[in-house]
Chain A
Amino acid sequence: MAEVRLQKVVKRYGNLEIVHGIDLDIAHNEFVVLVGPSGCGKSTTLRMVAGLEEISGGTISIGDRVVNDLPPRSRNISMVFQSYALYPHMTVKENLGFGLKIAKAPEAEIEKRVAEAAEILGLGPYMDRLPANLSGGQRQRVAMGRAIVRNPDVFLFDEPLSNLDAKLRGQMRVEIKKLHQRVKTTVIYVTHDQVEAMTLADRIVIMRDGNVEQVGTPSEVFEKPVNTFVAGFIGSPPMNQLDAVVVDGGARLSDGTIVPLPAGLKVDAGQEVVVGFRTESFAPKGHALHEESRTITVSRPVLIAEPLGTETILFTELGGKEVQGKMLDPRHVNSGEVLEFTLDLTRLHVFDKASGKSLRA
Chain B
Amino acid sequence: MSRQLTIEKPWQRWLIRLGVFVAMVILCVPGVWVVLTAFRPNIEILARPAVWIPHELTLNNFKGIFGLLPTQQGLPVAQYFINSLVISVTSTLVAIIVGMAGGYAFARYRFKGKAALFLAFMLSRTVPGVALSLPLFIVWARVGLIDTPIGLILVYMAINIPFTIWLTDGFFRQIPVDLSEAAQIDGCTRWQAFWKVEFPLARSGLASAAIFAFLTSWNEYALASQLTRTTASKTMPVGLMDFTAQFTVDWTGMSAMAVLIIIPALVLTFIVQKHLIAGLTFGGVKG
The one of B185, B197, B286 that contacts A79, using a Cβ cutoff of 8 Å = B185
| Complex CA–CA separation, A52 to B286 (angstroms) | 25
**B187 contacts across to A, CB distance below 8 A:** 73, 99, 102-103, 150
Chain B residue numbers with a CB within 8 Å of A89 are 200-201
- For the complex, give the distance between the alpha carbons of A73 and B182 in Å: 10
Docked Cα-Cα span, A79 to B179, in Å, equals 12
Please pick, from B186, B192, B197, the residue contacting A150 in the complex, using a CB distance under 8 A.
B186
Question: Of residues 169 to 197 in B, which have CB atoms within 8 Å of A's CB atoms?
Answer: 176, 178-179, 181-189, 192, 196-197
Choose the segment among A80-88, A118-126, A324-332 that binds chain B (4+ C-beta atoms closer than 8 Å).
A80-88
Please encode chain B, from 259 to 271, with 1 for each CB lying within 8 Å of some chain A CB and 0 for all others.
0000000000000
User: Of B178, B179, B192, B201, which contacts A102 at CB under 8 A?
Assistant: B192
Count of chain A residues near B, Cβ 8 A: 26
Taking a contact as CB atoms under 8 Å apart, the answer to whether A81 and B181 are in contact is: yes
Shortest Cβ distance from A119 into chain B, in angstroms? Answer: 21
Q: Chain B residues near A133: list those with CB within 8 A.
A: 287
Q: CA separation between A124 and B30, bound complex, in Å?
A: 58
Which of chain A's residues has its CB closest to B201's CB?
A: A89
Tell whether, in the assembled complex, residue B184 and residue A85 are in contact, meaning their CB atoms are under 8 Å apart: no
Interface centre among A86, A98, A131, A150 (most CB of B within 10 A): A98
- What B residues does A87 contact at CB under 8 A? 179, 182-183, 197
A71 interface residue (CB < 8 Å to B): yes
Using C-beta atoms within 8 Å of the partner chain, give the interface range for chain B: 10 to 19
Instruction: Determine if A132 and B189 form an interchain contact, defined as CB atoms under 8 angstroms apart.
Output: no
Q: Determine which of B185, B188, B286, B287 lies in contact with A77 in the assembled complex, contact meaning CB atoms within 8 Å.
A: B185
CB atoms of B176 and A146 under 8 A apart? no
Query: Is A72's CB within 8 Å of the partner chain B?
Result: yes
* Contacting residues, chain A, for B186 (C-beta < 8 A): 73, 98-99, 102, 146, 150
A73 and B201 in contact, given A83-B176, A131-B287 (Cβ under 8 angstroms): no
Contact for B189 among A71, A77, A146, CB less than 8 A: A71
Shortest Cβ distance from B188 into chain A, in angstroms?
A: 6
CA distance A106 to B185 in the complex (A): 20
Query: In B184-232, which residues have CB < 8 Å from any A CB?
Result: 184-189, 192, 196-197, 200-201
Interface membership of chain B positions 273-286, coded 1 if the CB is closer than 8 angstroms to chain A and 0 otherwise:
00000000000001
Measured between alpha carbons, how far is A87 from B287 in the docked complex, in Å? Answer: 11
Interface SS, B side: helix
Residues of the A chain whose Cβ atoms lie less than 8 Å from the Cβ of B178: 81, 83, 85
Known: A83-B178, A88-B287, A102-B192. A73 touches B185 (CB 8 A): yes
Residues of B within 8 A of A150 (CB): 186-187
**Bound Cα distance A102, B186 (Å):** 8
| A78 close to chain B: CB less than 8 A | yes
Q: Enumerate chain A residues within 8 angstroms of B184, measured Cβ to Cβ.
A: 51-52, 71-73
Report Cα–Cα, A79/B184, bound state, in Å.
10
In A117-171, the 8 Å CB interface with B consists of 130-133, 146, 150
B residues within 8 A CB of A73? 184-189
The one of B183, B189, B200 in contact with A98, judged by C-beta atoms closer than 8 angstroms, is: B183
User: In the docked arrangement, what's the CA distance between A244 and B98, Å?
Assistant: 68
Instruction: Give every chain A residue within 8 A of B176 (Cβ-Cβ).
Output: 83, 85
CB B50 to nearest CB in A, in angstroms, measures 54
Residue A239 is within 8 A (CB to CB) of chain B in the complex: no
- The chain A residue with its CB closest to the CB of B285 is A132
The residue in A72, A77, A83 that gathers the most chain B C-beta atoms within 10 A of its C-beta is: A72
Tell yes or no: A50 within 8 A of B by CB: yes
Closest to A104 in B: B187
CB-CB contacts below 8 Å: A263-282 with B: none
Residues of chain B at the chain A interface (Cβ within 8 Å): 176, 178-179, 181-189, 192, 196-197, 200-201, 286-287
**A-to-B contact residues, CB < 8 Å:** 50-52, 71-73, 77-79, 81, 83, 85-89, 98-99, 102-103, 130-133, 146, 150
| 14 more A-B residue pairs beyond the given contacts A52-B181, A88-B179, A102-B196, with a C-beta to C-beta distance below 8 A | A51-B184, A51-B185, A73-B185, A73-B186, A79-B181, A79-B182, A81-B178, A83-B176, A85-B176, A85-B182, A98-B186, A102-B188, A103-B187, A150-B187
Q: List 23 A-B contacts (CB under 8 A).
A: A51-B184, A52-B185, A71-B189, A72-B181, A72-B185, A73-B187, A77-B185, A78-B185, A79-B181, A85-B176, A85-B179, A86-B182, A87-B179, A87-B183, A88-B201, A88-B287, A98-B186, A99-B186, A102-B183, A130-B287, A132-B287, A133-B287, A146-B186
